[in-house]
Amino acid sequence: MIEIENLSKSFGQLVVLDNISLYVSEGENLVVFGRSGQGKSVLLKCIIGLLSPDNGNILVDGKNIVALNLKELNEVRKNIGFLFQSAALYDSMTVRENLAFPLKRNFPNLTDKEINDKVEYTLELVSLEYAIDKMPSELSGGMKKRVGLARSIITDPKLMLYDEPTTGLDPITTKEISELILNLQKKFNMTSVIVTHDLICAEIIADRAIFLKDAKIAYEGTIEELTKSNVPFLKNFFSHELIKA
Ligand SMILES: Nc1ncnc2c1ncn2[C@@H]1O[C@H](COP(=O)(O)OP(=O)(O)O)[C@@H](O)[C@H]1O
Ligand SMILES: [Mg+2]
């Protein structure tokens, strides 16, 4: 689903990604770890074409997004969902309208009934059917996250990119959101790249994880391999994360 070859990205003197290569199979959940400022968000933004790399190729579902014009890029983006940490709902719209919005934009030919059916179906996936006519201000933080998740998957993306999806959530909601992401993988064979430093989330979701450090993929493996590693840097990172969790 994703094939990154020799990706480099700098901002002025600051080298953020240095010659990174990465492969994500269809249906895989890849977790990206790293301390703050290590290029995790930049990596996601390169994958969706919001930032263009200085070097390298990024193939998404076989298309080299580095070489596409905006129109072609927008076609590829229809198959990619993106959930930013700060992804806010539209406050003046109901949950139903929030979910209908990307559908109408991407599929202008859908009828009102088709849109409504899809909104109801997608809300069921996140167990929020009953909130369909509520305003965002009436929802708890965890519910807003679930609506945000529903809104980013309603167009049936083959690939989902999550940037710190559980930051700021309590452990129970974190578990719920993580299980939802896992269910999407199982139900739709969805591929996901999840940036997180939440070990609860990673343990539930990850098939494999990479660790960004000093602009490189410094470590790679299953969560078990990484958390049980004797590498001092990893031991230190995970002991701090465990205390926090
Ligand atoms: N558009 C930008 N212009 C300049 N510097 C940027 C830009 N985006 C990110 N950076 C810098 O790149 C580094 C990596 O950022 P980021 O990927 O957001 O880190 P994180 O791993 O915390 O997600 C940071 O030092 C950040 O300040
Ligand atoms: Mg970030």
Q: Which amino acid is at 132?
A: I
**Residue 173 pLDDT:** 86
**Residue 242 pLDDT:** 56
- Nearest ligand for residue 212 CA: 1
The CATH class of the 1-79+159-170+191-245 domain is alpha beta
**Residue 12 pLDDT:** 96
**What are the structural domain ranges in the chain?**
1-79+159-170+191-245
Can you tell me which atom of ligand 1 is nearest the CA of 34?
Answer: 21
- Ligand 2 midpoint to CA 109 (Å): 36
Measured from CB, residues less than 6 Å from any atom of ligand 1 are 11, 14, 16, 34, 36-42
Confirm if 103 and 110 have CB atoms less than 8 A apart: yes
Neighbours of ion ligand 2 (CB under 5 A): 40-41
**Residue 86 pLDDT:** 66
Q: Which of 10, 41, 217 to mutate to test the pocket of ligand 1 (most atoms within 8 A of CB)?
A: 41
- Nearest ligand for residue 35 CA: 1
Nearest to 175 by CA among 193, 198, 194, 154: 198
| Token pair recorded at residue 70 | 């905006």
- Say what the pTM is: 0.92
Alpha helices in 89-228 (DSSP H): 95-106, 112-125, 141-153, 171-188, 199-205, 223-227
Q: Which amino acid is at 223?
A: I
Placement of tokens 């994703």 in the chain: 2
**Residue 213 pLDDT:** 95
Can you tell me which atom of ligand 1 is nearest the CA of 39?
Answer: 17
Q: Which of 15, 16, 35 to mutate to test the pocket of ligand 1 (most atoms within 8 A of CB)?
A: 16
pLDDT below 50 — which residues of the chain?
245
- Protein residue whose Cα sits closest to atom 13 of ligand 1: 37
Calpha distance 88→58 (Å, rounded): 28
**Residue 155 pLDDT:** 92
- Nearest ligand for residue 34 CA: 1
Calpha distance 109→98 (Å, rounded): 18
